[in-house]
């Protein structure tokens, strides 16, 4: 009899515990005191944007998370109440789809697709595997790999996205080359390297530490 009762208790806990549900960030309002897998997802996004500073993320929405949310809200001119609702999600650029794109698996897909076009020649105005210019390559790969529809020029792409203090795999890195402002960009692939279409070599991989690129680096953004 005790085993049967215990079985019902365990089953009840599993059915009522939100941590075992298939949660997607953006589904619910998050606030201090909550424990949910979406809190961990929120922390990961805030960490990527430079607001959540703890080394590890958890499912608990405590004072550190609230402080990070408030800092982000203030930076975006939102009501700084530490509650993550519709407006805060919008400012974060969070939907079910965008969080999925930011996941490791989706970033891997993006990089793998980009590498398929290594050695494709540079073509001014090119936006197909027959030949890419800088922004044409980025736009093509993002549309192939994600739901993100990037603008056609680097300058316009730079106006979009969210600035990050340091790039993670799948982020875009920007450079100032032949004119003031962002005029060249590539996809960060890790280990201080990025893949891009350059006028001299076509699609290839370069080091962020390269003397030419390091002097012209403007920053990174996530999309």
172 is catalytic: no
Secondary structure tally for the chain: helices H, strands E = 9, 8
Pick from 127, 152, 146: nearest CA to 137 = 127
In angstroms, the CA 162 to CA 53 distance is 17
Catalytic residue among 172, 184, 189, 197: 184
In angstroms, the CA 112 to CA 134 distance is 18
70 is catalytic: no
If you ran DSSP here, which 8-state letter would residue 194 be given?
Answer: E
CB-CB contact of 149 with 140 (8 Å)? no
Catalytic residue among 49, 101, 139, 196: 196
Catalytic residue among 23, 134, 150, 182: 134
184 is catalytic: yes
Core vs surface per residue 188-215: b (16+ CB within 10 A) or e: bbeeebbbbbbeeebbbbbebeeeebee
CB-CB contact of 161 with 98 (8 Å)? no
Core vs surface per residue 130-162: b (16+ CB within 10 A) or e: ebbbbbbbbbbbbeebbebebeebbeebbeebb
**DSSP H helices in the chain:** 2-16, 37-48, 63-75, 86-92, 96-102, 104-115, 134-145, 154-159, 211-216
Query: Active-site residues: which are they?
Result: 134, 184, 196
């Amino acid at each position: 009899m005790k085993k049967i009762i215990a079985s019902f208790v365990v089953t009840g806990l599993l059915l009522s515990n939100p941590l075992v549900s298939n949660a997607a960030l953006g589904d619910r309002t998050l606030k201090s005191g909550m424990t949910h897998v979406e809190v961990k997802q929120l922390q990961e996004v805030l960490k990527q944007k430079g607001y959540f500073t703890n080394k590890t993320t958890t499912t608990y929405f405590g004072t550190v998370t609230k402080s990070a949310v408030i800092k982000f809200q203030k930076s975006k001119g939102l009501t700084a109440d530490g509650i993550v609702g519709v407006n805060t999600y919008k400012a974060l650029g969070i939907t079910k789809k965008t969080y999925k794109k930011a996941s490791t698996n989706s970033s891997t897909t993006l990089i793998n697709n980009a590498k398929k076009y290594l050695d494709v020649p540079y073509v001014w105005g090119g936006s197909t595997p027959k030949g890419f210019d800088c922004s044409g390559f980025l736009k093509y790969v993002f549309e192939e790999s994600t739901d993100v529809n990037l603008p056609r020029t680097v300058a316009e792409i730079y106006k979009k996205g969210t600035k990050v203090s340091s790039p993670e795999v799948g982020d875009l890195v920007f450079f100032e080359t032949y004119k003031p402002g962002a005029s060249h960009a590539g996809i960060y692939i890790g280990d201080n390297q990025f893949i891009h279409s350059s006028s001299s070599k076509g699609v290839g991989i370069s080091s962020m530490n390269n003397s030419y690129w390091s002097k012209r680096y403007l920053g990174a953004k996530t999309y």
